[in-house]
Amino acid sequence: MNLGLAGSVAVVVGGARGLGRAIASAFADEGCQVGVWDVSADVYAAATELCGTGWTVDVADPAAVRVAAAETWAKFGAVDHVVFAVGIGSGKFGFPFWELDPADWDRVLRVNLVGAAAVAHTFAPKLAERRRGTMLFLSSVAGQNGSQTDPPYSASKAGLINFAQCAAKDLAPFGVRVNCLCPGMVKTPLNRSVWQAWWDRQPPDARQEYDAWAAEKIAKLVPLNRWQTPEDIAAMAVFLASDRAANVTGQTVNVDGGYVMHW
């Protein structure tokens, strides 16, 4: 898109697969140097394809996050853009919520919310010192509408929106912008796992195959009546990192086909 990002450094956390991989690729296409973090060993192959550098990092481990951040900064000399594109679910169908166990919440919150805070803690001071840069957190439409499908996931993503607003206020005096990006219905392993958890709870005569289930959900909830794609999400991510979004901070941007509308 020629957004003027060439030569900058972008770190994509969760960049080995899914939406994170699409975002990392979009930054690379803009001429950025890309650092790819992921808990999966696939991170090295993904980074190689992008002519970038990969690190295996579990964001639920603050010490590992600090080490990776120091190595990333040493490798590139500076970091301009940080994208947190990590998200896990409980793996269970959470309706009604008391069918879950309180223990089902722990890992989801530690990865999706506390992990995001750990990443922000490591990068924010240096971004503030340089008085430039952006952070972007991938939340979800589920974080805005209280989705009953997976309450731990929904709550973690709602908390992420609130944290991004706090971070945006703290970093604004230093010229650093912070936003949230909320995907809608995208064909990702996480989306399919939501269907699988639903399927496992249904009697045989009520079950639908994945594509039929998703089509019905899209028809009911998405005014544009179509899937969103990883490329849709990635296009918005690089736009928000660019100077074309210079006055956009503390915002929750939905790329969801109209799923969430605020009146």
Radius of gyration (C-alpha) of the chain in whole angstroms: 18
Respond yes or no on whether the N-terminal peptide bond of residue 152 is cis (omega within 30° of 0). Answer: no
Rounded Cα distance, 13 and 113, in Å: 13
Q: Which member of 44, 153, 210, 259 is catalytic?
A: 153
Q: Does the active-site annotation cover 153?
A: yes
Amino acid identity of residue 113, one-letter, is L
Rounded Cα distance, 25 and 116, in Å: 21
Q: Quick count: other Cβ atoms within 10 Å of Cβ 41?
A: 10
Question: Which residues are catalytic, by number?
Answer: 153
